[in-house]
Every structure is written in structure tokens, then in C-alpha cells.
Structure 1
Amino acid sequence: MSYQRFFSRLSKEEQDFYETKYAAAEFYRVNRVPEEIERALNELFLQKPEDVHGYLADYFASLSAPPRINRLKGREVYDTRGQLSIEVEVFCIVCNKEKSISSAAVSSYFGPKETSLDWKAGSQRADHVMTAVQWINEPLNHMLKGKNPCDQTEVDHALSDFFMAHYLEEKDIHSREKEESRSPSESELVLFSAPPAQTKDKKNVDKAKRSTTSEKPFPPAEPPEPVLLGSLAIGSVSLAVARAGAVLQGIPLYKYIAALRNQETLTQFHIPVSLVTLLSCGKTSPGKLSLLEEVILIPRVGQRVKQIITMTLEIQKEMMRIMNTSTKAGATQAILHDSGALALGYEKPEQPLDLITEACTNLGLALGTEIHLAVNCAAHELMDYSKGKYEVATGILKSPDELVDMYQTIINKYPAVVALIDPFRREDIDQWEKLSNVIGDSCSLLADMTYKSKAPSLLGVSGRILKHINETTVSDLVLITSDHQGSLLMATTSSEPSSGDSLSDIAVGLGLDYIKLGGLSGAERMTKYNRLISIEEELAQQGILVSKEKHSPPLFTEKLQEQSNTADVA
């Protein structure tokens, strides 16, 4: 049979296959190409893939030089509140062509509104953002050029060294300026240490002596940790490179981060339990109450993210119905808080907890078994330093010891409250320990240590809050969660949330037990919730999704877990 007759009897796919093989073989014969091409053709002939051209493209792409970072591009953008922030774009050389691979931004934190924490007095958000953009487009761009975007450790090490060099340089400049501006006769300001006024009344003098000797002096605030101008660039570049590495390896970001954490391919994943902010009665909310910055819902373990969201929305809907139809709720007005939850105007901390209790009862949800609560007190924002007391409500001041008693009363009355976040300032060391002793195993105490990573642990604190902000790199997150296994509690957006969904991938990849994303409103939060749902569905389809049987400490102590399990059985 002639070649032409044989060829005419072949299907179109077979004809394409043999034409490709003939053309490649002829090219090899004429050009004497390397043996890699001959190997590819031999494998092609044996495997006979349906997509011949795709096979050849993939084969030769695997022989090309690995991707390298070619340049970074930092730009000023506006966050979800219309405030300046930055975005980083990573460009890599892939198969001899420059391609935009990924972009990212992390949440920014520039210190409390009342106090400037940066070294350069009067610097504003624009200065932070402008410096970060300059860092990205110039020194960081040159420093990372040519590096492997899939080597996260090397990239983050370079970023951390760069940040530390600038940190030490600015610290040295600040110290010199402080020394030069200080006069030799300048006296140091000591808070709450002035002796009592002299009086001729012996009884008053004796009383003053007894009070000063029996009461410890009020501890002043710890020196605030500075936020270095430009630090936002470090975390943003680190995350953008991590996203680039995931894209180039063809895997989702959560699997890429999990590989960084375990150095091996994980066969099972779990979705962190979503802690959803139900309502806010904090300092920026309407009404007199300031103590409850957030009341957070802790759902039962084993529920899907969609179920948790649906349940939370039902509870919020029922709370609104109660407020609109009953005077018992006691709220004077309601607005939408920055946390994405409803902000209510109350006078006493019992009122919002009573509202949640009534709403859950009406819906048939067992508060204390199916649902638990955590309270973010944000006590450091309530301190009146002129009086040395916490202003828990307008005109109502409590000393640290009085606040211990107040928390104990709330926890005894509402056993569904199983966690208090930042119930005191960090400086009130004795009260942390005292509260831990009086509440025992009935409640966990959690502290936000984002900028206090090197500070000694507080007695009684069983969990820490993890945030991805400013100079925190992806490798930092991996290291922290590895060093504090079981102690790191949740990932959470800061007060300046970003609109990306990477936080959800990070929480899953790090294997965190909990994630706190805020309330159920606002694009920056719902994007993250939707990403969690997407990851959960993807893992379920792959058959590698596992569900934890119980809450993990420290949010739930062992005793609380046993009580919850007993109630479920009953």
C-alpha cells in the first residue's frame, strides 16, 4: 500500500499526529537539534496524546529556564473606605516573555487615631503610602529582580533584612534627635506618682499614708511601638510574591502556603470556624455603652460556611424585629459599624446580650450549646489616663479591679460567653491574672499581641490574635503559627481592611482553627467569606475536606468542651 493511500484512510486526528511527527523528525534531521527534542518526539509517538501541540508546548516549557521576578510595580490605590493604600504588581519573565503574574495588598495600620506612633511627627497616611510606593518601585524592585518567585523564604528573608536595616537607621536618628532636644534640667514626667497634698490634719495625713501604701500605683501606658514609614510595602510585596508563586505552580494560594508550612503535600484540609461579629456597642457606637466593641458569634463545629452565614443573618433579622416591636431591647438607635455589624445604642452591657439571648430563643437556637459568644472589649481604647480608670460607659468609670468584678458578673450571668478579647490594657498585669483565677475554666482570655510579639506572656492569657498587616511577611505568619501551635487563635482584619480575599487562603493554608472576618456587610468582608465558601466547595469536590469534631482550645477550654458535648448528647 502506498503512503498516500495509507494516509487517506486515517482520521483527521491521526493525520495531524503523523504530520506533526513527520515535520518534527524532518526538523531534527535537517537542524541536528538537541536530544531533548528527539526524546520528546519518541514519547509523543508512544503516548499519542489528543492535543499534540499542547503536549509539545508543555514538554518544551518544562525545559525552559524557571520564571524569575523581573520587576515590581507599586501604585497608590484607594481602599474600601476611600482612603489611600497601596497595591503591588509582580512581573516575571516566563518563557522569555515578561508577564504580569499577580497583585496584592495587605491591611494597613498606622496606629490609634489619638496617638501618632510613627517616629516622624505629623506624618499622615499619605506619607506612609508614598514612602511604601517609593520602596517598591526603587530599592525593593532592584533587590528582588532575578529572584525565584517560588522561593518564598529567600524573598521574605531579603524583605525582612531590608525592613530591619531601615528600622534601626530610623531608630538611631530618632534617638539622636531626642538627645539633642532634651535640656539637662528637664524633668521626667511620672504619671500617678505625685505625693498627696500636705495638710495639717493628722487624720487625713494618716489616711493618705495608708492609702498610698496599700494601693499599688497605677501603671502608666507602655511606650507605643512606632510604625515605620513605608512598612506597608513589606507585607504587600511578600503576599504578592506568594500569589505569584502559587500561580506559576498552578495551585491555589492556600495549598502553596500549606506547602511552606509543612514542606510536603497535604492530603487533608479543614476550614477554620468563622467567628462572625453580630453587633457592636463600642466607643464609636451610638448610646452610652463603650465596653462591648464587638459581640462575636461562635458557631457549632461542623457547619459549612454557608450555614453559618445563613444562621447569623437570621439572628440579626430577629434582633432587628425585636428592636422594632419591643421596648425591652432598650436600644435608642442603630447604625452600621466599621466592623460590618450592626452598632446599637445601649447603656448597659447586659442589654445587647439579652437581645441576642431573646433572638436565639425565638429561633429555637440553644445559646450555650449550639451557639457561643465571644466579646471583644478593646479595653485599651477605654482608659481615661487622667483618672486611671476605664470609662465603660459615658460617665461611668471603673478601676481595673472593679472591671474584674464586672466581667465576673457578666460571665456568671451569661455562660454562653466563653471568651473575652482584650479585657484590660496589657499594663494591668495583676488584673489579667486575677480575672483568670476567678473565671477558671469557664472563659478564655485572649490578647491582641500584634505589635507585642517580643513582650513576655501575660498570666491568664490563653490565646493570641494574629493579623497580617504592614511589615508582616508570609514567612512570618508561617513561623508564628508553627512556634505557637494551639495558642494562635484566629486571623482577623485590622481596622483598615483590604479588599482582597487572600486572608481566607492564608487562614486555610496555615491550618488555623478560627478566622474572624467581621460582620456580614461590606465588599471587603463578603469577598473573604465568599472565598472561604469557594475553598470549602473545592476541597469537598476533591475529597480532602475534613471537619473537626470539637472546638480547639484556647477559645474553648477542655472543661467547656466537655460541657458542650454533654449538652449535645442530652
Structure 2
Amino acid sequence: MLQQANYFSKFSKAPVICKLVGRKVLDGVGQPTLEVEIYCRVKNNEKRICSTVMSSLSQIPENALPETTEADEKERRDSVNTAVEWVNEPLNTMLRDLKPTDQSKVDKVLGEYFTKKVEEKKGIQNQEEETEASLALSSCTPSATALPGEKKAAKPGKKVAVAERPIPPAEPVESVLCGSLAIGGTSLAIAKAGATISRIPLYLHIALLKHDQDSPKEMTLPLPMVTLLNCEKILPAKLKLVKEVMLIPPVQLSLKQGIERVLDIQKEMMKLLEPPGKVPTPQLADGKKGRVHNTGKKALPRALKRISHLGCLITQCDNLEQPLLLMQTACNNIGLELGTDIYLAINCAAQELMDYVKGKYEILTGMFKSPDEMVDMYVELINKFPSIIALIDPLRKEDRQQWDNMYCALRSKCYLIAEDAATDISKLKIDQNINIPRCSGVVLKYINQTKVSDLIEVTGLLDGQRHITILGSPDGESSDDSLVDLAVGLGARFIKLGGLSRGERVTKYNRLLAIEEELAKNRTLREANLEFIAFAEESQPEKQPSDVLPPPKQDLLPPQLSQPALEDCSLPAQLSENSTLT
């Protein structure tokens, strides 16, 4: 009977979607978000296949005003409630009877529905604007008194703060359509259902979608950027420039070995931060080989007794060198050398520092630097701390000329990564080009209306232009570990998951370790392509559009990143080796 059943099962219809269920759940910081469940008809039986919980780009401001927090929470609740309605009603009907393995068709339906909703919102806004304009004209009466909010003219002799030099204004923030979580959540849930129906892991299903069903013989794992310190400004601390300090394990280690090394550094760092009166004398990097000498002057920063929503320790710092010295001291104490045994990456989040009145970045309280001065500062920083191999968002995306200058100065020494410029994946695609400043790569986040097909298309364009793809974890993270499968299937060079604390963060590291074990067991784990790329000088003319990145030559370094090879790039002559960072 069993053989007969197996025989007739070959002639049964392929599984199709029969029901979508959306519900409101909580994310890793207790905020509402969307869960999407997929039910399929398998051999005439309705069966629950899988579910996914969406993450959201939820910035969690420190010391936010109560009214601001209330408004953000209301907007979030409304968006999640609308997303639940979309999933349970229109999307449930529109996707019924489609195959979960036909990702492109599903995403096309989702994209058309989202476009329709955007047009409806624009129509409503236009009507409201026309109504307001007509009311304003009918009630307009001349008055000599100043209207509320109208600025009075400055008195003679009074100084008015103005920008010393015009800077490109900030690009308008793209509004997020209420309910857009339903599009991304449904697309990802369908991808998981397609993998389940095909009886393959999600990462392999994504790889097949990207390569038109051509099964890869070997796959690589992304290198983790593990956040150890969150240095956001918290009174009475002054530091603002460094938002995150991250560790990147060397490529010659397995992922498991790399995570263990990061944990060792984290334990030592906690020892340094706990007893304020027993902190060892900090040691400063000296020269290109990472040697150290005692400064005897600067004290290490103290830690606050809480963990950031990023899953790492929050510290108080007064200058740029303190968190770097902390890393240096922790590594030295356990016999590791920065730049050889472990590498550093810094998330600068410079877009949060711009003072638009002065036209400068406020890198510390009361300390301002122009965009050009920022470039010089970063060049000096990398010269002084060569173990830093990646800078994320060192400038605003609008300062394209400075991105171009910094790329030319530092491309052979460290990766320059754009994260803020790559928030909205659908906005990156312009005429088959990537509309970002000149950089080494971008951080992509799966949020809002992002679809799996969008992510596949964008990463394909990035691969073609020799950019590095980094899959990043949003601030409002959930316990769903699908991001890791996406990163592996798409062939991302790095993955940015936050720290090694908090369940919603650690579960993703555990998933990455499980995939490494599975690929190693199947002998499909390829390690050669995990080597860092040294960006060679291009032969193109110097004057190029700053938003177009010519493909660099792919000169691969040996498995252990060669520090001398990275230090051949000359620095601007005006920077002194003995100058001090502030």
C-alpha cells in the first residue's frame, strides 16, 4: 500500500497557497511588529508551512521627549495594525492558489498592490492640500502683526549664526507607507514556504533564486561584524562620533573559532570596565605592526550597567581614542594583536552629527569639523590605528565629493561602507545603477516593503559593480533568524547582527554557526573567497562622477590579511604623523 501511495503521489498537484494569517506580535525590545503565517494545500489538505516575524527600522533614541516617543509609538501601532489587515484580507485573496515556489510571481503581485496603495495615498494628500489652499485663500486678511512661528528680523548689530560654507542640504526623508511591513513580511514568508516545500534550507533556496535555479557547488559564509561597544552620547559623556565599535575575526579562523575569540575579548573588556579603581594603564598603538606603549595619561572609559538594544555594552567616552584603547588593552591582556588576530570596524553614523546652521559636523560637544576636515581626520585615524579595516557612514550621503576624496585616500587601507544611504532598497535601483556615494560597499536591511526579489536584484547589481554587500540587522530586531539565510544565499561578504547578548541577536549567530556546520558536513563550504580585497589603483582619469564607482581590480590578499600590503597607500602630505586625534 505504501508503494502504491508513493506512486500516485507523483501525480498529485503541486502545493499552492491557500491561506495567509497576519497577527501582531512583539519584537526584541517589546515593540509591536508583524508575523505572517503561510498555509498551503498539500495533497488536498490544508497545512501550516511556516511563519516569519518582521524586523523594522525602529530607531530607539536616547533621552527622547515624551511627546516624541508617544507619536512614534502611535505611528508604529497604526502601521502594524494596517499591515495585519492587508495580510488577512486583500493579500490573502490575491495570493491564493499561487505556488509558494514561484517567488517572482508572488513578488510581482505584492509590488503591484503596494504601488496601488502609494497612488491612493498621493491622491488623498493632493486633495487635502487643495482643500487647505482654498481655505487659506478665503480666510486670508492683511495683518500687521506677526503670525505664530514667524521669525522677526534680527536687530542691527546682532550676530546671527550662519553656515560658514554652503553644504548640500539633507535629502528629504522618504515617508514609510503605513502597512508596508505586510509586503516585506509576506514576501519573506513565501520564500520560507518555498524552501520548506522544496525540502531544502532557506539559504539554498535563496541561492537558487539568485542564480536561476543553478545549484552552487560551494557556498561561502559572511564574516560577522560583532558589535562590542555602543558609544552613543549619554550625559555626561561627550563622545558622539563613534556609535558602534565592532570586531571582525580573521578569515583563517572558522566562524566558531572567530566567535569564541570575540567572546574572549568581550570577557576581558568587562573585567577592565568593572572596577573603576583597578583599571590597568591603557596602551596605545605604536607603528604599523600594532606594538604598544604605555601612555600613563588617559584613563579608560567606564561602562554603564546596562546592555544596549544592539546587544552590546554601552560606554561613556570623552574622546575618540578611548574605545580604541580599550580594545587594544583587552587584546593585549589575552595575548592577541589587533590588525593580525582580530580587526576593528567603526559605525560613525555621521548623518546624526551635522549642525546645519554651522554647516559642520559636531564630532564632540562643542567641537566642529567641516566635511573636508572630516576626511583628513579619518585618514589620520586609519594611519594611527591600522587595525580599523571598515568605516560605516563616515560622512552624510549628500557629501559626495568628500566620499570621493576619502575613497581615493583610503581605499587600499579600509572599506568605506554606506549604510544610511542604502536604507530603502527600492530607491537604490536607478537605471540599472546603484545610486550611492563612491564607496566600497553598502549595508542592506530587509525592512518595510522590501521584497526578496528586490534584494536579489540589488545584490546582483552590487556584485556586478564590485561592491561589497553587507546584510544588516535593524534596530527593531525580532527573533526570526531568516536574515542569516538571506546573507548566506545572497553571498554577502559581511553580516552585521549587533552584539553577542539579547536573544534576538544571539539566535542569529547560532543560526550562522549551524549553517557553517551543515556546509562543512556536506563539504560545500568554500573558504577561499572569504579573503579581504585590496582595492588597487584604477587606471581611469581622476575626474569622475562621484556617484559612479568604476570596478576595481580584484587583487586578493593571502588568507591572513597582510598589513604591510595595506599600508603602501600614501597619505596626504599635510597630515603629520605626530598629530593628535581629538
TM-score above 0.5: yes
Partner of 1:379: 350
Check if 1:333 corresponds to 2:273. no
When you count helix as a share of all residues, which structure comes out higher? 1
Gap change, CA 1:303 and 1:79, over 3 Å in 2:
same
Between the aligned partners of 2:155 and 2:94, the Cα distance in structure 1 is 61
Report if the CA contact (8 A) 1:466-1:488 is conserved. Answer: no
Gap change, CA 1:125 and 1:284, over 3 Å in 2:
farther
Partner of 2:488: 508
Between the aligned partners of 1:547 and 1:196, the Cα distance in structure 2 is 65
Q: Please state how far the C-alpha of 1:171 moved relative to its aligned partner.
A: 2.5
Cα shift readout 1:337-395 (whole Å, capped 9, x = no counterpart): 12111111011010110111122222222211232211100111222334433232233
Q: Please state how far the C-alpha of 1:268 moved relative to its aligned partner.
A: 1.1
Between the aligned partners of 1:228 and 1:130, the Cα distance in structure 2 is 13
Partner of 1:439: 410
Find the partner of 1:461 among 436, 439, 444. 439
Partner of 2:188: 239
Gap change, CA 1:375 and 1:96, over 3 Å in 2:
same
Cα shift readout 1:79-121 (whole Å, capped 9, x = no counterpart): 111111110001111111101111002211257868999xx99
Partner of 2:320: 349
Gap change, CA 1:560 and 1:357, over 3 Å in 2:
farther
Report if the CA contact (8 A) 1:105-1:239 is conserved. Answer: no
Which of 395-404 and 308-317 deviates more? 395-404
Cα shift readout 1:29-51 (whole Å, capped 9, x = no counterpart): xxxxxxxxxxxxxxxxxxxxxxx
SS at match of 1:423: coil
Q: Gaps spanning 5+ residues in structure 1: where?
A: 1-19, 21-52, 187-193
Gap change, CA 1:195 and 1:461, over 3 Å in 2:
farther
Gap change, CA 1:319 and 1:172, over 3 Å in 2:
same
Gap change, CA 1:560 and 1:380, over 3 Å in 2:
farther
Q: Please state how far the C-alpha of 1:277 moved relative to its aligned partner.
A: 1.0
1:250 aligned partner, one-letter code: R
After the TM superposition, which residues 128-139 of structure 1 pair with which residues of structure 2 at under 5 Å, given as runs? 128-139=79-90
Cα shift readout 1:207-245 (whole Å, capped 9, x = no counterpart): x9xx99xx6413322111010000001111011111111
Partner of 2:523: 543
SS at match of 2:129: helix
Report if the CA contact (8 A) 2:220-2:530 is conserved. Answer: no
Larger RCO (alpha carbons 8 Å, 6+ apart) = 2
Report if the CA contact (8 A) 1:111-1:227 is conserved. Answer: no
Gap change, CA 1:167 and 1:122, over 3 Å in 2:
farther
Find the partner of 2:330 among 341, 351, 359. 359
1:453 aligned partner, one-letter code: L
Q: Please state how far the C-alpha of 1:285 moved relative to its aligned partner.
A: 8.3
SS at match of 2:428: coil
Find the partner of 1:299 among 246, 249, 252. 249
Between the aligned partners of 2:346 and 2:246, the Cα distance in structure 1 is 6
Between the aligned partners of 2:154 and 2:459, the Cα distance in structure 1 is 49
After the TM superposition, which residues 90-169 of structure 1 pair with which residues of structure 2 at under 5 Å, given as runs? 90-109=38-57, 124-169=75-120
Which of 426-435 and 136-145 deviates more? 426-435
Gap change, CA 1:518 and 1:284, over 3 Å in 2:
farther
Q: Please state how far the C-alpha of 1:322 moved relative to its aligned partner.
A: 2.6
Report if the CA contact (8 A) 2:303-2:313 is conserved. Answer: no
After the TM superposition, which residues 398-417 of structure 1 pair with which residues of structure 2 at under 5 Å, given as runs? 398-417=369-388
Partner of 1:450: 423
Check if 1:279 corresponds to 2:229. yes
1:537 aligned partner, one-letter code: E
Partner of 1:471: 449
Q: Please state how far the C-alpha of 1:443 moved relative to its aligned partner.
A: 2.4
SS at match of 2:8: helix
Partner of 2:459: 481
Between the aligned partners of 1:396 and 1:287, the Cα distance in structure 2 is 14
Find the partner of 2:172 among 203, 214, 223. 223
Check if 1:565 corresponds to 2:562. yes
Q: Please state how far the C-alpha of 1:59 moved relative to its aligned partner.
A: 2.5
Between the aligned partners of 1:450 and 1:553, the Cα distance in structure 2 is 24
Between the aligned partners of 1:440 and 1:141, the Cα distance in structure 2 is 48
Gap change, CA 1:417 and 1:285, over 3 Å in 2:
farther
Normalised by the length of structure 1, the TM-score is 0.80
Between the aligned partners of 2:534 and 2:153, the Cα distance in structure 1 is 43
Which of 441-450 and 549-558 deviates more? 549-558
1:75 aligned partner, one-letter code: R
Q: Please state how far the C-alpha of 1:439 moved relative to its aligned partner.
A: 3.2
Question: Paired residues, what number?
Answer: 499
SS at match of 1:91: strand
Between the aligned partners of 1:413 and 1:195, the Cα distance in structure 2 is 48
Between the aligned partners of 1:484 and 1:354, the Cα distance in structure 2 is 35
Find the partner of 2:497 among 517, 520, 533. 517
Q: Percent identity?
A: 44
Q: Please state how far the C-alpha of 1:176 moved relative to its aligned partner.
A: 3.9
Gap change, CA 1:131 and 1:381, over 3 Å in 2:
same
Report if the CA contact (8 A) 1:376-1:420 is conserved. Answer: yes
Partner of 1:48: none
SS at match of 1:165: helix
Cα shift readout 1:411-453 (whole Å, capped 9, x = no counterpart): 1210111221111111222322233344352222111212241
Between the aligned partners of 1:409 and 1:196, the Cα distance in structure 2 is 41
Q: Gaps spanning 5+ residues in structure 2: where?
A: 142-151, 282-298, 537-551, 566-582
1:254 aligned partner, one-letter code: Y
1:341 aligned partner, one-letter code: C
Normalised by the length of structure 2, the TM-score is 0.78
2:302 aligned partner, one-letter code: T
After the TM superposition, which residues 250-329 of structure 1 pair with which residues of structure 2 at under 5 Å, given as runs? 250-263=199-212, 264-283=214-233, 287-323=237-273, 324=275, 325-326=278-279, 328=281, 329=299
Report if the CA contact (8 A) 2:445-2:474 is conserved. Answer: yes
